[in-house]
Chains A and B, each alone.
Chain A
């Protein structure tokens, strides 16, 4: 299957700082990328959908000014958690679909964010 990478795999930051997470499709053109958040022992919850070159569509209850999503190229999307607080600590996972990836989406390995 197609390969999606995420960086960093783990990050620890202080409360009030911003953190950027990168999601890359390595061997296909990701026309659409999805960002999910997963709290411990919970399910994956979609935060937003981003299409290359356009603004992300956020799910209800997700603050777009806090979770900034950029999808400027067909291989890279970034999620920036601004002014992070301890309650933002979670497992963030991206997925991607597009040309050369068949009719399904492929998940990145996830980023564990811990806000102190």
Chain B
């Protein structure tokens, strides 16, 4: 089955700086890669996703890159703000309606 690894497990960044979180996956049939933000005791919130037919996608301060050959994808958050502090999970699946395999999570702390 699919295996998703995520690094780093914790990340502290000064407010205004950029944060990068990286994930690798093992299943070459995976073609959907969402990123979720989760606050304590809440549901995961989809913040951005990318499908295998594109290499990069951007939405305001958030961007995701995908390298299918190397089987890795990354989340980039620019101009970080205190409200960006949360746990972020990457995930992979064989389609948007298919089961998700999650990474182990990154606790991001933005230092004011």
**A102 at interface (Cβ–Cβ under 8 A)?**
yes
**A8 at interface (Cβ–Cβ under 8 A)?**
no
**B interface majority secondary structure:** loop
**A93 at interface (Cβ–Cβ under 8 A)?**
yes
| Contact among A43, A97, A103, A108 for B102, CB-based, below 8 A | A43
Minimum distance in angstroms from B35 CB to a CB of chain A: 12
| Contact among A46, A97, A109, A112 for B97, CB-based, below 8 A | A97
Chain A residue at minimal CB-CB distance from B105: A43
The reply to whether A44 and B96 form a contact with Cβ atoms under 8 Å apart is no
| Chain B interface extent, by class | 10 to 19
Chain A residue numbers with a CB within 8 Å of B41 are: 91, 110, 112
| Interface 0/1 of B66-109, CB less than 8 Å to A | 00000000000000000000000100000111011111110000
**A32 at interface (Cβ–Cβ under 8 A)?**
yes
The reply to whether B34 and A43 form a contact with Cβ atoms under 8 Å apart is no
**A87 at interface (Cβ–Cβ under 8 A)?**
no
Chain B residue at minimal CB-CB distance from A97: B97
The reply to whether A34 and B100 form a contact with Cβ atoms under 8 Å apart is yes
* Given known A-B contacts A43-B89, A109-B42, A110-B43, A103 and B100 have beta carbons under 8 A apart: no
**A90 at interface (Cβ–Cβ under 8 A)?**
no
Name the residue in B42, B43, B44, B49 with the highest tally of chain A Cβ atoms < 10 Å from its Cβ. B43
Minimum distance in angstroms from A27 CB to a CB of chain B: 16
The reply to whether B100 and A105 form a contact with Cβ atoms under 8 Å apart is yes
**A104 at interface (Cβ–Cβ under 8 A)?**
yes
Minimum distance in angstroms from B21 CB to a CB of chain A: 13
Chain A residue numbers with a CB within 8 Å of B46 are: 1, 104
**A67 at interface (Cβ–Cβ under 8 A)?**
no
| Contact among A43, A46, A105 for B96, CB-based, below 8 A | A105
Chain B residue numbers with a CB within 8 Å of A44 are: 44, 89, 100, 102
* Given known A-B contacts A43-B104, A44-B89, A104 and B99 have beta carbons under 8 A apart: no
Chain B residue numbers with a CB within 8 Å of A49 are: 99
The 5 closest A-B pairs by CB, nearest first: A103-B96, A97-B97, A104-B96, A107-B43, A43-B102
Measured CB to CB, the residues of B under 8 A from A are 34, 41-44, 46, 49, 89, 95-97, 99-105
